[in-house]
Chains A and B, each alone.
Chain A
Amino acid sequence: MSAGFFLEVVLGGLLAGVMYALVAIGFVLIYKASGVFNFAQGAMVFFAALTFVSLEKAGMNFWLALLVTLAVMVVLGMATERFVLRPLVNQPPITLFMATIGLTFVLEGLSQLVWGSQPHGLELGIEDVPMKWLAEKSGIHVSQFELFAAVVAGVLVAVLALFFQYTRIGRALRAVADDHQAALAVGIPLKHIWAIVWAVAGFVALVAGLMWGARNGVQYALTFIALKALPVLLIGGFESVLGAIVGGLIIGASEKVAEVFLPQLLGPPLAAWLGVPVNLQGIESWFAYVVALLFLLVRPEGLFGEKIIDRV
């Protein structure tokens, strides 16, 4: 095992982690602003990607399809606020969580009913091949596409940060995230804010959907990437966009390293100990969760989450 190969694996993991973070940011936005753990984020990613691909297939050009999909996601966010969240104001968080699972089913059914359930390919014009000059110079293979995704994620976070910091709506969003009632008391319209948050989350879902769709194809399995984003949230904390990025990097790197090296490292001793052949392939299906759990044992609120204060 050369150091170069190890570096390559870690780099690949870090870049894959950025892709997870793209999904995790959607969770964080909604959790921050409304305290809802939005399980439907994965379905929203799927819905956005499928809508975009189908529109493009129907003959629209890239930017028009993007605009129309964005409009659809905004309408979806507003409809969610109107028909799911508003009637459930003041319910315990678990009820809202369950409602978003219901929403997941609706979105999955709806997108496949409207656009059909066959998988589509998605071309963004950037191929998933190693960067040429980097490979020639240092011998490290890093996917061009994943680098592009990382840049997109960086731009997205920057845009969100600017939006939150310097616009009127952004300030209102932060106020709502801090304290619903206080925000209401100073005259911030909660209804509009929630609709906006869900629309923004829809936009993030669209970006994530494009990235993941271009990488893995637009298919039903896209809904499962939400499950990959959950350990990222655990590490980063549910309330922090920065945490989502850092958590994504940690999860991505450790998962990739575990996937590549652990079966070889742990397999033979374990097999000798048990006396039967042991196959540790597929370890990545749960490894991220274990990493997240270890982090939680040290910091129960995640790296950047709000400190949990218990009062009786």
Chain B
Amino acid sequence: MLYREAGQFRSSYAEDQRIFPILQDRIAFGVLLVAAFAIVPLVANQYWLAAILTPFLVFSLAALGLNILTGYAGQLSLGTAAFMAVGAFMAYNFELRVSGMPILVSFALAGLCAAAVGVVFGLPSLRIKGFYLAVATLACQFFVLWALQRFGWFSNYSASGVITAGKIEIAGYLFESPAEKYLLTLAIVSAMALAAKNLVRSETGRAFMAVRDMDVAASVIGIPLMRTKLLAFAVSSFYCGVAGALYAYCYLGTVEPEAFNLDLSFRVLFMIIIGGVGSILGSFLGAAFVVLLPIFLNVLFGALSHFVGIEIPHAWLSNIELILFGALIVFFLIVEPHGLARLWQIGKEKLRLWPFPY
């Protein structure tokens, strides 16, 4: 009843090309934005802001980056964490070595550095595809971590390779509390998500999808393969790089190269698979799922031992969590291989007719 598009006419091209052509969607999204920017920082407590919402946003951005590469351009990559590491460590170095560098500029430069690394390790994609490429991107993962650990310059010669992010100051204003950091992350992620949404609707995005669907056919219709593939790697690594910088600055504060190991790459890959490959919304849904699942399981087991009275040893708990996580991934892939974004779409279709059967 509420979600009906009858009577909404589009009379200009601008109206037709809106991101949300349906009025109800626009209202809902506006409400969501207002809630995220204005209400959440007031209502949520420190734990929620610092340990759940901020990492959710950071991972969403990383998932967005990987989704552009894997979901839209069809190049499977297992090097996401490496690009994030480049972003985090370069942002740190720009702040450290260039005095008076504005933090947003160093985030952007860190993203560009990650993009450069992405282009270099994207070069094999011109020759190899599919799983061969996925394994090749592992080279990036291992090489970058090794370089960060071996060359002291990256971590300013700290003994253990750990970097501590400096203060975040924009135009004289200091971002210190979890709420402020959350707002900064949210602002950056929103802006970049908007850019990504528009990118994939543009000619470039369509070129990505043509390459994904069949690269030989794409080159036959005149899409320059090399430029498109490398651009996809560059854009994707830029997103991951900025996500890495935010990971270091807004979420953890202190990071070591080991934090960006292969596990993190897989986690981001899970996010886009569970959320939906080739969907902007899916990146966010997937990140929410992967961030919230361990917390949910913890709460569940806590409640279980509280009410049933079964005390589960801690060593078991982490293993049970591992099993459940793996099983849930398999379960999700079987039930809805197109991810949460597809479920959302199906739900919306149903809602258009509700409460009538047809």
Residues on B with beta carbons closer than 8 Å to the beta carbon of A101? 266, 269-270, 326, 329
Q: Does A285 contact B (CB under 8 A)?
A: yes
Q: Does A158 contact B (CB under 8 A)?
A: no
Asked whether, in the complex, the Cβ of A105 is within 8 Å of the Cβ of B325, the reply is yes
Q: Which residues of A contact B337 (CB under 8 A)?
A: 88, 91-92, 95
Report chain B residues within 8 Å CB of A283: 146
- B128 A109 Cβ-Cβ under 8 A: no
Q: Tell me the A228-248 residues at the B interface (CB within 8 Å).
A: 230-231, 233-234, 238
Expressed in whole angstroms, the Cα–Cα distance for A308 and B76 within the complex equals 18
Quick one: CB contact mask for B114-150 with A, threshold 8 Å, 1 for yes? 0000000000100111111011101100110110011
Out of A83, A99, A116, A293, name the residue touching B329 (CB < 8 Å): A99
A286 touches B334 (CB 8 A): no
> Which residue of the partner chain, among B76, B151, B214, B319, contacts A109 with CB atoms under 8 Å?
B319
CB of A113 within 8 A of CB of B319, answer: yes
Decide yes or no whether B27 CB sits under 8 A from chain A.
no
Q: Determine the chain B residues whose CB is within 8 A of the CB of A37 once the complex forms.
A: 131, 134
- CB proximity of A180 to chain B, nearest CB, Å: 17
Question: Counting CB contacts under 8 A, is B2 at the interface?
Answer: no
- Determine which of B150, B315, B326 lies in contact with A103 in the assembled complex, contact meaning CB atoms within 8 Å: B326
Chain B residue with minimal CB distance to A280?
A: B150
- The residue in B151, B321, B330 that gathers the most chain A C-beta atoms within 10 A of its C-beta is B330
Q: Name A297's closest neighbour in chain B (CB-CB).
A: B127
Minimum C-beta distance from B182 to chain A (A): 30
Name the distance in Å between B97's Cβ and chain A's nearest Cβ.
15
Contact (A234, B326) CB under 8 Å given A98-B333, A102-B333, A300-B128: no
Is A93 in contact with B131, judged by CB distance below 8 angstroms?
Answer: yes
- Contact across chains for A296 and B127 when beta carbons are under 8 A apart: yes
Which one of A102, A286, A300 lies within 8 Å of B146 (CB-CB)? A286
Chain B positions within 8 Å of A181 at CB level: none
B327 on the interface (CB 8 Å rule)?
yes
Interface flag for A216 (CB, 8 Å): no
Asked if B153 is at the interface (CB within 8 A of a chain A CB), the reply is yes
A278 is an interface residue with CB less than 8 A from chain B = yes
Residue numbers in B under 8 Å from A285 (CB-CB): 142, 145-146
Contact with A106, one of B273, B316, B323 (Cβ below 8 angstroms) = B323
**A144: interface (CB < 8 Å):** no
Determine whether B262 belongs to the interface, using a CB cutoff of 8 Å to chain A. yes
Are A109 and B136 also in contact (CB < 8 A) when A84-B330, A312-B216 are? no
Q: In the bound complex, what is the Cα–Cα distance between A297 and B149 (angstroms)? A: 28
A165 within 8 A of B: no
Complex Cα distance A91/B334, Å? 9
Q: A95-B333, A101-B266, A105-B323 are in contact. Are A286 and B132 (CB under 8 A)?
A: no
- Let me know if B23 is at the binding interface, CB within 8 A: no
B220 interface residue (CB < 8 Å to A): yes
A234-B132 contact, Cβ under 8 Å, with A109-B319, A227-B138, A279-B150: yes
* Residues of chain A with a CB closer than 8 A to B149's CB: 282
- Which of B130, B131, B277 gathers the greatest number of chain A CB atoms within 10 Å? B131
Nearest-Cβ distance from residue B214 to partner chain A, whole angstroms: 7
- Contact present for A293 and B139 (CB under 8 Å): yes
Contact across chains for A105 and B216 when beta carbons are under 8 A apart? no
B226–chain A nearest beta-carbon distance, Å: 14
Q: Mark out the residues of chain B between 264 and 319 whose CB falls within 8 Å of any chain A CB in the assembled complex.
A: 266, 269-270, 273, 277, 315-316, 319
A185 close to B (CB within 8 Å) = no
Given contacts A276-B153, A293-B139, A296-B136, are A282 and B146 in contact (CB under 8 A)? yes
Q: Are A113 and B76 in contact (CB under 8 A)?
A: no
Task: Decide if A109 touches B320 in the complex (CB within 8 Å).
Answer: yes
CB atoms of A110 and B323 under 8 A apart: yes
In-complex Cβ contact of B131 among A97, A107, A292, A310 (8 A):
A97
CA distance A99 to B274 in the complex (A): 11
Collect the chain A residues with CB atoms within 8 Å of residue B216's CB. Answer: 310-312
Q: Known interface pairs A113-B320, A230-B135. Does A102 touch B127 (Cβ–Cβ under 8 Å)?
A: no
- Which residue of the partner chain A has the closest CB to B145? A285
In the complex the two chains form, is B124's CB within 8 Å of A296's CB? yes
On B, residues with C-beta under 8 Å from A are: 70, 76, 124, 127-132, 134-136, 138-139, 142-143, 145-146, 149-153, 214, 216-217, 220, 262, 266, 269-270, 273, 277, 315-316, 319-323, 325-330, 333-334, 337
**Cross-chain pairs A/B with CB under 8 angstroms, 29 sampled:** A37-B131, A83-B330, A98-B273, A99-B333, A101-B266, A102-B333, A104-B326, A106-B322, A106-B330, A108-B322, A109-B323, A110-B323, A112-B322, A113-B316, A113-B319, A117-B319, A230-B135, A278-B151, A282-B149, A289-B135, A289-B139, A292-B135, A292-B136, A292-B139, A293-B139, A297-B124, A310-B216, A312-B217, A312-B220
- In order of increasing CB-CB distance, the 6 nearest A-B pairs are A105-B326, A109-B322, A289-B139, A102-B329, A109-B323, A106-B326
